[in-house]
Structure 1
Amino acid sequence: MSLESREALIINESDYDYIDYKGRKADPRRHGGVLAASLACIVELIQSLVFLGNNMNLVRYFLKYMHYPVAQSSNMVTNFVGTSYLLTVVAGYINDCYLSKLTAFVLYATIELLGVILLTYQAKNSNLLPPENETPSTFQAAILYIGLGAMAIGIGGTKATLPTHGADQLDHTKENLISSFFSWYYMSVTTAGILGATLMVWIEENCGWGWSLMISAILLCCSITIFSAGFPFYRGKKPSGSPLRRLIKVFLASNHNTNDTTTLEVHHSPKEQSYAKEKSYNKFKFLNKALNDDTIEVAQVEDTKAFLGFLPILATTIMLNCSTAQLMTFSVQQGNFMNRKIYNITITTQSISVIPLVVVLVFLYLFEQSKRFYGNNEAINKIYQPLVRMGAGLAVSSMSMAVAALVEYKRLKEFNEGNLMSAFWLIGQTLLVTSAEVFVVGGMLEHFYSKAPNGMKSISTALACCSSSMGYFLSSMLVTVCNSVSGIFGQAWIGGNDLNHDRLHYFYALLCFLNLINFMLFVYFARRF
């Protein structure tokens, strides 16, 4: 039997492995489907609104309410976001091993809700906030960190659960349906970003963080209620045990048989002889020796190879997230030194990002609709493939850094001549980097889910968020290294407190070059995949 036939058989058989929320065999006529998947998109919109709405302005809360210094506040935000994304991998592993998606989401969302309630109580109780010009006491800081920690656990858990849960509701023999789900899923995230940059930021600035956090708690209650309302319609699979244990078993068997001089003969076992006819045989060939072990099946080797194939693709997306983190940080600071007035009304720099987000949202909708007209055209259909979309996004990422460098160079020139450049010039770089993120993250979620082994769907899709986490942590390291190296030659590029006397455009140019190299590496690995 060919590998393609074996995969098709696995897909068809897997339809009978689904169960409902009571553990009974799922009925395809009652469980799953577009309606059940749509609920996941609605819940993700609410969840992302809470996360993005608070995250966009969280540094102001640390500065205004907790009175932390600027540098410490910025690092706290970066660490909070990075930790939230990093925990998706832990949650994905737990989901694949021990918890059903339904139980997992309710658990993680409840933990997040408890964290928000604790932060709300602190923000509304003056006794739990530090006096003016004083940093928090040990007890006050403990409440803050416990609340943020609970939020990070909940955010990481829900982001590891919702994408795979939604895709599990759909017919896996229809690839276009799975692709459409991830497009609509990311449209939900983009819509949440628009609402967060406008409504939530306005509430935080005009009504206070106590109201913002209280509204966040209400929204989380709504998300849990909406998700729970779909229990009778959902389908899912029982946890299949530790996926890492299966991978390690293949590695150990391969290493043992490679070092064993009695197993060096090519195609030593009948399983390996049969597997040699498949296309994937020549990928990670050192793992083929594991088939000489009677306890290792071809499917286990295939799963291990598939997961290993994800890692180079994952590595090439980190630079995009690093650029996104830097651009979001410095764009806000750039905007503070630019003209932000419209008819004598001064707007916030964060509000300018609404325009690119709306453009991207419209593009996503048109892109999804175009599949109905051109999806059956074999030549045009290639542009809808996840790896192609990811490559396009990484190329656009390099372009965004080039535009950012030119805009900053122009801003500095105007400043030195005594002029203020319009903040709306930031729209170009923001639009490009947002488009790049949509292409890459959306394609990565679809690719990792569709190609992941059956028992590793959650942890594989969680790798997309893990990339964001590593990008945030890498961004801090890049700034430190660049300042240290450039400082040796006279002046640190971004070492001061005033961008008007820094050399941010040099740093953007460096990121453009690194993204270009990264794009070429992606093309190499994608072709090999």
Structure 2
Amino acid sequence: MEEGGEQTSLLVKENVSWAIGYGVATTCIGLALIGFLVGTPIFQQDEPCGSPVKSIFQVIVASFRNMTLEVPADSSLLYEVKSNHIQRTILAHSDDFRFLYKAAVISDPSLVYGGCRSSWSLCTVTEVEELKILIHLLPIWVTGIFFAAAISQMHTTFIQQGAVMNTKIGSLSIPPASLYSFEVICVTLWVLSMNKVLVPATRTYFANGAELTQLQRIGIGRFLMIFAMAMAALLETKRLQSVQEGELLSIVWQLPQYFVIAGAECFAVITQLEFFHGQAPDSMKSVLTAFALLTTALGNYLNSAIITLIAWVTRVWHSPGWIPDHLNKGHLDYYYWCLTALSLVNFVVYLYFASKYKLKKIVIC
């Protein structure tokens, strides 16, 4: 509802009135709020207990406090809470970042069995594994920031590029920012295609009937972003040539790059949320879901920093620079090629860390 309201509001602002446009957006937000309030009483949720952030710091502090202790070769000697009456879900022991297991080394058994354990000096294996999951996810999360910086072109330079193109389709004038509606529609088409075509095809291709993993889907999204940025660069080169010839290229030529970005968003953004939520321990699902969404905000900030830096450097180097106020005097295509190279490097880095990533293993005891 928010995206539909945003696009409707944008069209009204461009063609009717800004006041009415904001009224449309306000109405949509109000309807969404009513729906939220109506649905809240029937939604059941467990009351949160403890702090996952506090647990992370406890493992770090305990690891350094127990720095002189040796980690036993037998992982069963490490501290873990077990119960003979209640079935519990714990995370399996893994061999990487063994230093952190110093936090689970039992130096004084009397403290454990006497009930005097301090969480700042002795942590469970599961708490250690939760921190290790966060460490493993961090590199993948960082690549998501660079991916988000590239995808944010839809809201920045793509609009600038469209504004200096021929926005007339017959008698209809198309606001450049409204092409985001086309991208939203394409995301829906990509989702349908993935579920109805790609997933069944992979089941047939792989002998064991397996599907593309979440990490593979995210990688496909990262890969598609390279093509989206390259398409935008080629289009801008073509647009500048048409300006020199005294013609304006139609804004319709922007649609393919929006279509490819929609595919990248479908594979990377949606799947990344599922992946972070699925890999998160029970105590950290909300935190890691918010962590995944944070890439969008940081990506927008990174994009602003990149644009500002490139505009300043190229203006000093050769006025008016690559991204001047009047794009016909600049070279936005060079900027897009820089993003293409950045997306390529980001994809390679992602492949490395994704290949090293080990999915969490759960043990019921």
TM-score with structure 1 length normalisation? 0.58
Structure 1 contact 383–389 (Cα < 8 Å) conserved: no
Please tell me whether Structure 1 or Structure 2 has the larger radius of gyration of its CA atoms: 2
How far apart are residue 413 of structure 1 and its match? 1.0
How far apart are residue 326 of structure 1 and its match? 3.0
How far apart are residue 196 of structure 1 and its match? 3.2
State the distance in 2 between where 1:241 and 1:378 align.
45
Aligned counterpart for 2:138 among listed residues 311, 325, 337: 311
State the distance in 2 between where 1:479 and 1:362 align.
31
Q: Does 1:223 align with 2:36?
A: no
State the distance in 2 between where 1:360 and 1:480 align.
30
Q: Does 1:340 align with 2:167?
A: yes
How far apart are residue 333 of structure 1 and its match? 1.5
How far apart are residue 472 of structure 1 and its match? 0.8
Structure 1 contact 352–424 (Cα < 8 Å) conserved: no
Tell me the matched-pair count: 332
Segments of 5+ residues of structure 1 without an aligned counterpart are 1-45, 50-191
Map of 2:360 onto structure 1: none
Kindly report which structure 2 residues correspond to 1:299-448, keeping only aligned pairs within 5 A, or say none.
299-370=126-197, 373=200, 379=206, 383-448=211-276
Q: Does 1:479 align with 2:293?
A: no
How far apart are residue 268 of structure 1 and its match? 7.9
Map of 1:271 onto structure 2: 77
Structure 1 contact 403–429 (Cα < 8 Å) conserved: yes
State the distance in 2 between where 1:214 and 1:387 align.
42
Point out the structure with the larger helix share. 1
Structure 2 contact 167–174 (Cα < 8 Å) conserved: yes
Segments of 5+ residues of structure 2 without an aligned counterpart are 81-90, 107-111, 113-121, 358-365
Map of 1:453 onto structure 2: 281
CA offsets 1:144-184 (integer angstroms, 9 cap, x no match): xxxxxxxxxxxxxxxxxxxxxxxxxxxxxxxxxxxxxxxxx
Q: Does 1:196 align with 2:6?
A: yes
Q: Does 1:252 align with 2:252?
A: no
Distance 1:343 1:222, change over 3 A: closer
Extract structure 1 runs of 4+ deviating beyond 6 A. Answer: none
How far apart are residue 303 of structure 1 and its match? 1.1
Structure 1 contact 382–388 (Cα < 8 Å) conserved: no
How far apart are residue 427 of structure 1 and its match? 1.1
How far apart are residue 288 of structure 1 and its match? 1.7
SS at match of 1:230: helix
Distance 1:291 1:315, change over 3 A: same
State the distance in 1 between where 2:309 and 2:40 align.
50
State the distance in 1 between where 2:187 and 2:162 align.
21
State the distance in 1 between where 2:317 and 2:199 align.
57
State the distance in 1 between where 2:210 and 2:75 align.
38
How far apart are residue 467 of structure 1 and its match? 0.4
How far apart are residue 236 of structure 1 and its match? 1.1
Distance 1:302 1:377, change over 3 A: farther
Q: Percent identity?
A: 28
Distance 1:499 1:514, change over 3 A: same
Distance 1:448 1:340, change over 3 A: same
Paired letter, 1:215: V
Map of 2:118 onto structure 1: none
Distance 1:325 1:265, change over 3 A: closer
State the distance in 2 between where 1:378 and 1:228 align.
46
Aligned counterpart for 1:288 among listed residues 101, 104, 114: 101
TM-score with structure 2 length normalisation? 0.82
Paired letter, 2:39: G
Structure 1 contact 408–505 (Cα < 8 Å) conserved: yes
RMSD between aligned residues: 2.7
Q: Does 1:469 align with 2:297?
A: yes
CA offsets 1:23-51 (integer angstroms, 9 cap, x no match): xxxxxxxxxxxxxxxxxxxxxxx3x33xx
